[in-house]
Amino acid sequence: MLHLITVATHSERYLPVLEKQAQKNGVKLVKLGMGKKYIGHYMKDLETMEYLKTINRDDVVAFVDGFDSLMLAHKDEVMAKFNETGAELLLSVENIGALSFIHSTVFERVKGKYLNTGLYMGKAGFLLDFLEEMYKTEYNKQSNQKTWCSHLFKLDREGKFDGIKLDNESKVFLNHSFTTSNNPILKGSRVVIDNGEKPCFIQGNGCEDMTHIIKATGNSEDNVHKGEFMKKKMAYNLKAVFKVYTPILTFYIFLVIMLLITFGYLGYNAYKNRNHEYFYV
């Protein structure tokens, strides 16, 4: 049995669309945390653990970030692709393109890939054991992504990575943003990426506009928060620039300033010594 879950304290962005798409594709979206105060991304894992305790350990659970994810395939296709992997826990990856030199200064890689904890799925029992083991020690209350990466590094180092696989080809999950290099195109109501795969879920990281996909799936009328989208996108991007990417941006701004000063100095010397055969730096 497949359970589709998300953690959302309220309705925002694409959550109503995702809920309708799930229903159309044969599964109910379970919304955890509704009405509660959001205390940080680690709350998603804590809520998920409590839910996992209530279901059969042999059931399969797919977790998606509800505000910026869409379901594009029927539950049978999702289950078939998951079973083909032979995984107990399948993790989504972000295929970062030319901006990887910036991304690498902020995010860690596992098995050479950037993970995204906003999309994953696994056997309920295995996932519960995984999360409980991860949260029984000190964890990062700012970023559950760092908590996941640290735990996965530990498991890999100890040779305990069995059962955990990465969705490297994005057969099930696609993380899409201006930083990724999957080159997705829309064919009918499905997204197709450059390797020919048709992902079952897509997450528009960083408030990516997916209105055209929603229209293609026939869910335009369910996109009830579209009027708030640009405001949310601006808020998200400002937070990313000034909170997440500030250290690396500060470094690059410093380099630009130093280059401008250097070229300005050289230019000044060239102007000052324009009537001389030589000039000195």
Whether the Cβ atoms of residue 212 and residue 183 lie closer than 8 Å to each other: no
Specify the pLDDT at position 244.
52
**Residue 17: how many other CB atoms lie within 10 Å:** 26
Specify the pLDDT at position 98.
56
Specify the pLDDT at position 260.
81
Specify the pLDDT at position 78.
98
**What parts of the chain have a pLDDT lower than 50?**
279, 281
- The distance of Cα 49 from the centroid of its chain, to the nearest Å, equals 20
- For domain 2-226, give its CATH number from 3.40.50.150, 3.90.550.10, 1.20.1440.120, 3.40.190.10: 3.90.550.10
Specify the pLDDT at position 108.
77
Q: What tokens does 17 get?
A: 């669309």
**Which pTM was predicted?**
0.83
pLDDT digits (tens, 9 = 90+) for 46-96: 999 999 999 999 999 999 999 999 999 999 999 999 999 999 999 999 887
Whether the Cβ atoms of residue 91 and residue 166 lie closer than 8 Å to each other: yes
Three-state SS for 123-162 is EHHHHHHHHHHHHCCCCCCCCHHHHHHHHHHHHHHCCCCC
Specify the pLDDT at position 102.
58
Domain boundaries, the chain: 2-226, 245-272
Q: CA-CA distance, 48 to 187, in Å (whole number)?
A: 34
Specify the pLDDT at position 92.
97
